[in-house]
Structure 1
Amino acid sequence: MTEHLSAEDATRLVDFVNDKIQSLEDLLSLDTLLNSLQEQQDLQRQQLREAEEILKSATKASNEHAEAVRKEAEAFSKHQADIDRRLLIVTQSEHSDEAVRKFEDSIARLQRLDVSQGYLELLNSIDHLNKDVIKKMKTSPHDALRSYAQLRSIEISISSGQERVEGATPHLLDYVKGVSETLRGLVYGEYIGKLQNVLDKMKWPMKELPSEPLIDEWMRWCDLLLEFQEPDLINDTVEAHLKDCSVLPILLPLEVMAQPLELRFKYHFSGDRPTNRLDKAFSHLIHELMNFDNELKLSWSYPSNPAQESAWKGLTWEILVKENWFSEWLQVEKNFALARYQNIIDAEDGGEIDYDGVAPTATKPTKAALRVNDLLENITELYRPLSSFSQKLRFLIDIQITIFDLFHERLHSGLEAYLAMTSAIGRTVQGSSTGQPNIEGVSGLERLCRIFGSAEYLEKKMQDWGDDVFFLELWYELQDRVTRHSHTGKPVAGVMSVSEIAARTSSSVANNNKDHLEDGAEGALFDETAAAYRQLRMRSESIIQSTIASSVQTSLRPYYQVSTWASLRSSSDESDSPTTPSLDLVQTLRLLTADLSFLSRTLAVAPRRRVANHILLAIQTYIWDSILMRHSFSTFGAAQLSTDVANICDTVDAAIGVKAGETYSARTIQKLQDGLFLLGLKIKPENADSSGTGDNTVRNLGLWEAEKRLFANNESARSVLAELGINTLTEAEARSVLERRVEVRS
């Protein structure tokens, strides 16, 4: 059977048989396999017959379609020939191309004729509407406005369609605009005149409301003007949103009503009238505008959503930003503020200390400092309502901090002048000149306290301002802007860079970044200025301390020359103690009383006590080094020195207002007190004594016992000092003190 098959088919047949018949069971099922193969062969024959039928049908359809196309082509050719024949007859042309060109020209002329007819109809409508408005403008204003609105609608339609037709009708548009503008001027003049007549009857602007008929007539003409302006409002509003959402047209009724107000303003402030004074701020206008804007926002909720970009930003914005008057207004305000500042400085009583302007317990500033602060607070209220961060910062830096700097420079110059006058050369020149200011004693202290009090007062005011909500918001906004612009290099506020702002406000501004802010970095707008005032305050306080200390040490020179400490004896027995200070100490006590009493009225408790501490420590050093360590003392001499020191402490306490029973000064010079206690040990002690230093009761050792144990060794000396309640002296200092007793030295 395989002889009639190809080699490939024979191979496939052998593989099929080997695959299907591999065992005896497969051979027994050979009939089943043959039946299956027969069924498959029948199925394939059926599919072949169906494919042949489909091919026959497709071939027939293709032939029919080809025949139809051929017939349509023949019909089209006949139809085209007929058209060409007719076109030649109509155009009287010999060639078809020439006939087509003539036919297209005829169609184009017909189209132009149609367009011209449309133009004529449109021009006729425009002319009709124009005449209708003029005719009804006075007798029937509402009907006239309807015709005017139709004319404006035609104008807007033609204008908006110019872009689509690529400017094909410029002459028509110009004509329509000309008619519309002429008509608008006529209607505008008529209706404006009517409203102006009503306003004249109302005596506008008036303080009292007019009669109800006049109000009704006013409302009627306002409605007509708004209706007349409506097409312009719609068109201009759309254009404003496309360009600048803040530019909106002015309502005609308001424009008419604002004219007399504008005339009054020009009359008062644009000529040589007494009201046009350059020494008064044109700021009242801006301030009133800010109040008006705030009233609209708070009381009338206008605009309803100020956060929207299209929201109206207020009259203040219109003048300061849109019309770009902020720089001029700022300069006027700065000039006015500087003029007021100069008046404060030039006032005769400006340098006087004001004892009533602050709390009784506070440091007293000068009247000039109080007035400068009032000036700066008024400036804050002036620009507080501004909505622009940049404008607020400009006011702060250009005016307020500038005035702070000017006053600081004045105080600093005053301090330098005092130092120059108190120098050796300055005193020589002063002594040889007449009319020089008195810088001695309380007069000199008063000059220093003016500087100190003014610097401290304004420094505290700057701290208070830093905690004010207004300045806190400015500070946080500044930090936020610095963070957002740190990588862009853009100005933070207006044209001011970060470094410029930091130099005038706070150095922490330039160091701020996002991480720094999240760490809770602190700062304030007045950091740099407050630091300058703080440095001036601390320096002036130091000079006050050194001045009084120097005066006290000079007054102690006669006391230094006393040489009778070892020979002083009591008039009765050893137990008696002197009750009055030495005569050579009286000048020092008077000086302390005068200087510290003045400071008590001028300075607060804290600086007053700091000055007293410095003076007491200077006295302690002077007496310890120049008197205690340079002389020998008898028992009565030591007691006299203790009495003198006690009188100094009592004088200081009384002068600075220490409460009764409070040993403030004695505790300050505790080392000197302990040394005098040790120096004054009696030769024959009592059995018990509650005297001594501190609040502890100690056994009153005798001089010889104390001397024996002090000089025995360091451990014994420490034991003696602890027993006596002395903890401010070293063993060596205690031995040096005890050696000043004449009994021990002998």
Structure 2
Amino acid sequence: MAALSEEIRGLARPVDDRAIAEQVRLYLDTTYPDLAALTGIPSSSSTAGPSHQTRRGPPRRTLDEDIEYWKKKETDARERRDAIQAALPGAIAEASAALEDVLSRAQQLSLQRYALSDSIGTLLSELSSSAPRPDDGDGEEGAGPQSRAQTLLEDLEEKHAALARSQAALAWASVLERILKQRDTTLDPANHKPSPLAALPHYRELHSSVKEMERTLPPGMALLNSIRSVRDDTWTRLKAALGDKLLAAATALKWPLRIDYASVPVGDRRVFERAYTEMLHLQTEGERMGLVPSTADWTTGDGLYPLQVLTRPIELRFKFHFQGSRNTNRVDKPEWGFANIQDAVYEHTAFIADYLQPLTAQAGYGAVNVKSEFTMLLFPILLRFLRTRIPHLLSHPALLAHTVYQTVLFDDAMRENGFELARTSMYRGSATSASTSAAWEGLAGVILREQDWFQQWLAGEKKFAETSLNEIISSPDAWTISDARDADDDNNGDDQEDSATPATESARQVRALIEQITDRYSPLPALEYRVAFLRTVQLPLVAAYHSRVDGSLDAFETLSSAFVRAVPGALGAVQRQGTDSRLSGTAGLERLIKAHVSADCLLAALRAWSNDAFFVVMSAEMAGTDTAPSAWDTTADKYMSLRARAEDMMVRLISAEVEADLKQHLTKRWDVGVGADGTDDAHAGADPSLVAALTSFAALVSSLSRWLPRPATARVYRRVAAHLVNHISQRAVFAGWSKFTAAGGRALVHEVDDWRQAASGALSTTTPPISADPPWAPLAAMAAALALPASSDGGAGTGTVTDAPTFAQAMAAAWGGPSALESIKERAGLKELDAEQLQAVLRRRVECWR
């Protein structure tokens, strides 16, 4: 068809004259290449060779022949054209009619195709529920696949499903009917004669039926759960029937009161023993059939069947007294509930050991300790009691801590009373039974693992501790030093003595608070709980108190002029005059003493706790070694540094106060001599400026001895005295306003005695008294050297001859040999000075020629 169309298009194209001329020319050039071919007369060269005609083929037409040939062709073509033109209208009409027929048929076929497609869609929508009808979206609003009628295929599938369900329900009902009939037969009282144990064969049939269904049916079927529930319920009711019989027999013995079994009638004893034994036989059968729980969890209340029954009356009595409206149900007295359970165990211990233990052994449970079993079955009573009460105590840390403490005491009492979890029925034959008793966490362990109770308790204790610390620090008498000495405190200074350690009220209360918290959590069974209390509550509490005391020292150091470096000129005086009186003198010293005794009290407590057996064991468990440092050691080091800082500041304050009072006195001249009346100027009386310094010194040292422990007082006094000795020696002896005469030296001797007497008076309140002389020995030796007489007559013109060495002898010995030096030091009391020092001191005499 495509070729015909192409041919028609080619014939319909207009004639290309140029192309035709080119074709004619090409034809002529090919047909008549030379004149001979055009005329038909062979040339002379064409005759050469005999094979010329053969080589060129048959003779060609001449020009005239060729013209005639093509004329004839033209005539034939014109005739065919005329014939075609004559036939063309009819052919065109026929072709048009045929084409119209084809188009009509094609249109009809297209419409049929669409109709067929619609029919197929309709059939599919009728056969498949997932294919909506084409016209589902037309019509009234809301029409759609959901509103159309059910398809035939859906109807057929639904009926097949209903039939399958009916068949499954019939099979299900038949299985349930069989199981329920077996249950009714098992529980029928007619089959419980003479005892409910007589129904065990019927129960075995029920159990076998359930096992058969478990092997036949898929594991996830609900029918299996239903028939298992029927089986378990039947076992529970069969056990309850035996339990009621045992409970009736026990009530005849006046259970749960103390039982005098020897006085019980023989008939009642036989009934009780038979009921007790039958329940054990029932449990043996249950274990054989796999009905007894295989998981070992003592908190569930599972155990020997007869003992479970015997604990029921005890539980009822417990609920009546401690979970109702009785006066015995008090949140602050959980120990009453624990005591009730302890009494129940104690009262029945003899009955259990003498009678129940042999009965249990005869039934095949000889490995079970009946007393431990009975005790274990009473634990769930207390667990339910605690789980009900503790959520109400979470906002009351003190009551919660008391409840946990009493729980731990109960656990310890049960262990001491011989409770062994490894010898109960749950752990009988267990591979881990040997270590079960040691691993028993007790009621406290279970309660502390419940939800986040321990964390809430810990948070409550932390909040309580922080609130208590704030109240302690904010109290008006928080920094009042107690007059009473705590005999339990330990002294940890350089001199270990038996004297007591004073403390501020806040330090004592913080120490008591830490010990109170320790008492609350020390009985906890697990290390993780004790460590959490130590790290979360106690260590931050002690650190917070340390920060408070350390901050007070920072503030004192910032505001007090005694700790500001002196600036030349009047600035230092202006600063001193503007200083708060509470930061200077005895008032300022008392502030530092309060910080010191606070730190010292906590330091003594920390060291005592470090040596306490409870914290020693806990530190060893935390570190995994017996030689581990205590958990308190790091904090104790911080408090030791804090105490040392307070001592340093006391030394600096006292030294600064006394130095300020000595400033005017140290400008005096020491080159005094004998007066006109013959008296020694050195005996003219104490300088008023010195009196002021002595008074200030005595008052400050007296404050030390009054409030500080004896070792701390001795340390601070010696450091202050040493500092003053160095200050006086540098400012007066070695760099004074003048050199010394012998009279000036004697005046210095008298001043040293005045310092000693002032210190002795201030330290006289300590027991035993602290010696005031040793720190002043170097200055006394310098004064003695400066007071050496110029001649053997005493140097005062009295004519009295003395055995004391003269200044000249001291000069000779100081620059002489070692033996002479030692001799002069022994005679003049200059043992505190070496040769170099003695030479420097002697150079300060006006008579020195070296």
TM-score of the aligned structures, taking structure 2 as reference length: 0.56
Letter in 1 for 2:811: E
**Structure 1 counterpart of 2:543:** 405
CA contact under 8 A between 1:582 and 1:640: conserved in structure 2?
Answer: no
Instruction: Find the aligned partners of 1:237 and 1:566 in 2 and give their Cα distance.
Output: 112
Task: After TM superposition, give the deviation of residue 460 of structure 1 in Å.
Answer: 1.9
Paired residues, what number?
568
Question: 338, 351, 356: which is aligned to 2:479?
Answer: 351
1:220-260 deviations in Å (ceiling 9; x for gaps): 9x97998799589966864213xx67765384635545544
Question: 689, 702, 707: which is aligned to 1:584?
Answer: 689
Letter in 1 for 2:302: P
Task: After TM superposition, give the deviation of residue 719 of structure 1 in Å.
Answer: 6.2
CA contact under 8 A between 1:442 and 1:595: conserved in structure 2?
Answer: yes
> Structure 1 residue 627 and structure 2 residue 713: aligned?
no
**Structure 1 counterpart of 2:761:** 654
SS in 1 for 2:719: helix
> Structure 1 residue 335 and structure 2 residue 438: aligned?
no
Task: After TM superposition, give the deviation of residue 299 of structure 1 in Å.
Answer: 3.0
**Structure 2 counterpart of 1:239:** 294
**Structure 1 counterpart of 2:745:** 638
**Using a 3 Å threshold, how does the CA distance of structure 1 residues 340 and 471 change in structure 2: closer, same or farther?**
same
**Using a 3 Å threshold, how does the CA distance of structure 1 residues 616 and 742 change in structure 2: closer, same or farther?**
same
SS in 2 for 1:548: helix
1:39-86 deviations in Å (ceiling 9; x for gaps): xxxxxxxxxxxxxxxxxxxxxxxxxxxxxxxxxxxxxxxxxxxxxxxx
Instruction: Find the aligned partners of 1:288 and 1:660 in 2 and give their Cα distance.
Output: 46
CA contact under 8 A between 2:187 and 2:238: conserved in structure 1?
Answer: no
Instruction: Find the aligned partners of 1:258 and 1:150 in 2 and give their Cα distance.
Output: 38
**Using a 3 Å threshold, how does the CA distance of structure 1 residues 292 and 237 change in structure 2: closer, same or farther?**
farther
CA contact under 8 A between 1:556 and 1:585: conserved in structure 2?
Answer: yes
Instruction: Find the aligned partners of 2:421 and 2:634 in 1 and give their Cα distance.
Output: 39
Letter in 1 for 2:639: Y
Instruction: Find the aligned partners of 1:453 and 1:358 in 2 and give their Cα distance.
Output: 12
> Structure 1 residue 451 and structure 2 residue 592: aligned?
no
Letter in 1 for 2:732: I
**Using a 3 Å threshold, how does the CA distance of structure 1 residues 276 and 647 change in structure 2: closer, same or farther?**
same
Q: Which segments of 5 or more consecutive residues in structure 2 lack a partner in the other structure?
A: 1-172, 332-387, 424-432, 488-497, 565-572, 795-801
**Structure 2 counterpart of 1:291:** 409
CA contact under 8 A between 1:363 and 1:602: conserved in structure 2?
Answer: no
CA contact under 8 A between 1:580 and 1:643: conserved in structure 2?
Answer: no
Task: After TM superposition, give the deviation of residue 582 of structure 1 in Å.
Answer: 3.2
Task: After TM superposition, give the deviation of residue 667 of structure 1 in Å.
Answer: 2.2
Instruction: Find the aligned partners of 1:382 and 1:540 in 2 and give their Cα distance.
Output: 33
Letter in 1 for 2:757: D
**Structure 2 counterpart of 1:552:** 658
Letter in 2 for 1:526: W
Instruction: Find the aligned partners of 1:342 and 1:224 in 2 and give their Cα distance.
Output: 65
Task: After TM superposition, give the deviation of residue 469 of structure 1 in Å.
Answer: 1.2
SS in 2 for 1:536: helix
Question: 166, 179, 189: which is aligned to 1:132?
Answer: 189
Question: 223, 230, 233: which is aligned to 1:178?
Answer: 230
Letter in 1 for 2:467: A
Matched ranges for 1:97-136 at <5 A: 124-132=181-189
Task: After TM superposition, give the deviation of residue 192 of structure 1 in Å.
Answer: 9.0
**Using a 3 Å threshold, how does the CA distance of structure 1 residues 210 and 602 change in structure 2: closer, same or farther?**
farther
CA contact under 8 A between 2:563 and 2:652: conserved in structure 1?
Answer: no
Instruction: Find the aligned partners of 1:676 and 1:476 in 2 and give their Cα distance.
Output: 59
Letter in 1 for 2:435: Q
What's the C-alpha RMSD, in Å, of the aligned pairs? 5.2
**Using a 3 Å threshold, how does the CA distance of structure 1 residues 587 and 149 change in structure 2: closer, same or farther?**
farther
**Structure 1 counterpart of 2:772:** 665
Letter in 2 for 1:249: D
CA contact under 8 A between 1:613 and 1:668: conserved in structure 2?
Answer: yes
SS in 2 for 1:463: helix
Task: After TM superposition, give the deviation of residue 642 of structure 1 in Å.
Answer: 0.9
1:714-733 deviations in Å (ceiling 9; x for gaps): 88667644664534434343
> Relative CO higher for 1 or 2, CA cutoff 8 Å, sep ≥ 6?
1
Q: Which segments of 5 or more consecutive residues in structure 1 lack a partner in the other structure?
A: 1-115, 481-516, 688-697
Task: After TM superposition, give the deviation of residue 432 of structure 1 in Å.
Answer: 7.1
CA contact under 8 A between 1:597 and 1:656: conserved in structure 2?
Answer: yes
Question: 593, 602, 610: which is aligned to 2:698?
Answer: 593
**Using a 3 Å threshold, how does the CA distance of structure 1 residues 721 and 143 change in structure 2: closer, same or farther?**
same
Letter in 1 for 2:837: E
Task: After TM superposition, give the deviation of residue 325 of structure 1 in Å.
Answer: 2.6
Task: After TM superposition, give the deviation of residue 167 of structure 1 in Å.
Answer: 5.9
Letter in 1 for 2:526: S
Instruction: Find the aligned partners of 1:233 and 1:386 in 2 and give their Cα distance.
Output: 39
Identical positions, percent? 20
Instruction: Find the aligned partners of 1:552 and 1:363 in 2 and give their Cα distance.
Output: 27
CA contact under 8 A between 2:764 and 2:770: conserved in structure 1?
Answer: no
CA contact under 8 A between 2:394 and 2:460: conserved in structure 1?
Answer: no
Instruction: Find the aligned partners of 1:705 and 1:643 in 2 and give their Cα distance.
Output: 23
Matched ranges for 1:300-449 at <5 A: 300-303=418-421, 308-309=435-436, 312-321=440-449, 325-359=453-487, 361-423=499-561, 438-449=582-593
* Higher mean C-alpha displacement, 730-739 vs 381-390: 730-739
**Using a 3 Å threshold, how does the CA distance of structure 1 residues 700 and 389 change in structure 2: closer, same or farther?**
same
1:260-284 deviations in Å (ceiling 9; x for gaps): 466449997789x999974744222
Instruction: Find the aligned partners of 1:383 and 1:328 in 2 and give their Cα distance.
Output: 14
Letter in 2 for 1:678: A
Letter in 1 for 2:483: Y
Instruction: Find the aligned partners of 1:347 and 1:153 in 2 and give their Cα distance.
Output: 77
Task: After TM superposition, give the deviation of residue 658 of structure 1 in Å.
Answer: 8.5
Letter in 1 for 2:508: L
CA contact under 8 A between 1:384 and 1:392: conserved in structure 2?
Answer: yes
Task: Compare CA radii of gyration and give the structure with the larger one.
Answer: 2
Instruction: Find the aligned partners of 2:325 and 2:544 in 1 and give their Cα distance.
Output: 35
**Using a 3 Å threshold, how does the CA distance of structure 1 residues 276 and 324 change in structure 2: closer, same or farther?**
closer
**Structure 1 counterpart of 2:620:** 476
**Using a 3 Å threshold, how does the CA distance of structure 1 residues 683 and 460 change in structure 2: closer, same or farther?**
same
* Higher mean C-alpha displacement, 123-132 vs 301-310: 301-310
